[in-house]
Amino acid sequence: MSGHGFHVHGPHDHALEHAAHGAHKDSHDDGHGEGGGMTAQIAVVTAIIATIGALFGYMGGATQANAGLYKNNAAISKTEAANKWSYFQSKSTKQSLAEFARDLAPDDKKVAYQGKIDRYEKEKNEIKLDAEKLEAESTAWDKSSDVQMHQHHRWAQATTLLQVSIALAAIALLTRKKWLEYAMFVLAGAGVLLGGLAALHI
């Protein structure tokens, strides 16, 4: 469903067409009776529902694609952060060795080793800032992906309800049961409501 659009065509379409032909014939026989009116009303509503469903299906596919893209960005940032921390550890090791060498070196060599130690400390601080920035970016991408997936589920739920409401419309036309028509409206309304929640990121 998500990523492939809103599939309206199905067995219920044939039922709708069959019922519409039957109602059209009835309207000629009884002067546009109640059955013809019901058919026309449901046909119009079904077309509207299908249009809204197509839009919801597209949005569901788009949010799913975004979620995957954001998750991939999070993984890239996390890998880069891990590389930075490895580089940080390498600098820490070199600094420790320089400190050890400074402590063992004669006084006239200590200044040179101290210069290396100070340089390693500065480089470590810069690397640490970069690593923490990348970790923050990774966390932000993960959160954005979760938001998109939640939104995708909303769109998918809304699209499913609209599809079921279209199926109920076909059954309502075939059986001429008024309660099925009401059920169609209820499910369509619920689907539109969920779509609204998805649009509002709720």
> Quick check: helix, strand or coil at residue 1?
coil
Q: Name the least confident of 53-57, 108-112, 154-158.
A: 108-112
pLDDT tens digit sequence for 2-30:
444 444 444 445 444 544 454 444 444 44
For residues 10 and 136, the model is more confident at 136
* C-beta of residue 64 within 8 angstroms of C-beta of residue 146: no
Global pTM value: 0.69
Average pLDDT, the chain: 83
DSSP H or E run through 2: none
- Show the CA angle centred on residue 170, arms to residues 167 and 174, nearest 5°: 145
- Judged by average pLDDT, the poorest of 15-19, 70-74, 145-149, 181-185 is 15-19
Q: What is the pLDDT of residue 21?
A: 52
128: pLDDT confidence band, cut at 50, 70 and 90?
very high
Q: Per-residue pLDDT tens for 44-61?
A: 888 999 999 999 999 999
Confirm if 161 and 191 have CB atoms less than 8 A apart.
Answer: yes
Closest CA to 167 of 18, 15, 57: 15
Tokens matching residue 80: 């880069």
Q: Mean pLDDT across the stretch 103-117?
A: 87
How far is the C-alpha of 187 from the C-alpha of 189, rounded, in Å?
Answer: 5
What is residue 201's predicted lDDT score, i.e. its pLDDT?
Answer: 80
Structure tokens at 4: 């492939």
